[in-house]
Structure 1
């Protein structure tokens, strides 16, 4: 009898739980755009325009960046449909202020159809390299200028390992005897 009452109580609890998990009636106060073909959404963000005249777009983005307070100069290089813009700011500014200026430039670009996909940097070295690439492009050396600058950039990125350096006395001894330096394998 006790087992029968236990099974009956379990079945009742199971029925109540199952009934409680049913679907709730939908609130149809706001129609779904999927169900209503008359509802249309306007594009609020500007769409990126394809860059056909890279020189004029570069000049446009440079002038747009220069219009932001705190930007002394700007350099733009177009690669395909992406613009890379380096901005020159006062080197004595704090990092947070430089970040604010860079954000303001990016915000101005976001509203421009050519600047939507632009990359903005405030790094002084990269900005100078972009300036040199732009000058090479204007001088009719786009590939050579770009490859030279990329080699310089990669040369700065590649680390110099201390164990790869050879002191002068070992270097002169090795070159005269044509022996490889002894490497301590216990490091």
Structure 2
């Protein structure tokens, strides 16, 4: 009886394996059909020759989306970063929907097709400050300062890696630690 069970399982496995191979051979394969071609339906990205004009255009496009109260755009090279402001009382899913709607509008625009959209209030404010620095004629220093601030917020601080400079501060920290 045990041998019959093993034989039945082996036959079922072999039959299942053969059936899979037969199905795979008959399924259409893009490699077998050299005439299949995909057409790009999204707009081609335009070269940005006037960053200030493109920034204003994308800000206006973003503010045309329901739920966006303000937008700030910075263009560097051929890339745009757009920060949108929304009502702070909205829940996370609604903010995500608004951000997605802005991205959809940008997808249809040749300048916005590759833009980066954020709904983070802090980043939006920093983009506003970078834009103001650019308008004041300080594009590089303003950008560098804001990027340093942004990166300073992103990079985690691990307590184990902290090395106090002042021996007095180290002693106070040790004393406080002993109290707890």
Under a length normalisation based on structure 2, what TM-score does the superposition of the two structures give? 0.70
What is the 5 A alignment of 1:1-187? 34=35, 43-163=40-160, 164=162, 166=164, 170-171=168-169
More helix by share: 2
The structure-2 alpha-carbon separation of the partners of 1:34 and 1:125, relative to structure 1 and needing over 3 Å to count, comes to same
1:154: Cα distance to partner? 1.7
Runs of at least 5 residues in structure 1 that lack an aligned partner in the other structure:
1-16, 27-31, 175-180, 182-187
Structure 2 residue runs of 5 or longer lacking an equivalent are 1-17, 175-180
Using the TM superposition, give the Cα deviation of residue 151 of structure 1 relative to its aligned residue in structure 2, in angstroms: 1.1
Structure 1 residue 165: Cα displacement = 6.2
Aligned to 1:91, the other structure's residue is in SS state coil
Helix, strand or coil for the counterpart of 2:48? coil
Question: How large is the RMSD of aligned CA atoms in angstroms?
Answer: 3.1
* Distance (whole Å) between structure 2 residues aligned to residue 165 and residue 57 of structure 1: 46
- Give me the TM-score of the superposition, normalised by structure 1: 0.68
C-alpha deviation, 1:66, in angstroms: 0.3
Deviation at 1:119, TM superposition (A): 0.5
Once the 2 structures are TM-superposed, how far is the Cα of residue 34 of structure 1 from its aligned partner? Answer: 3.1
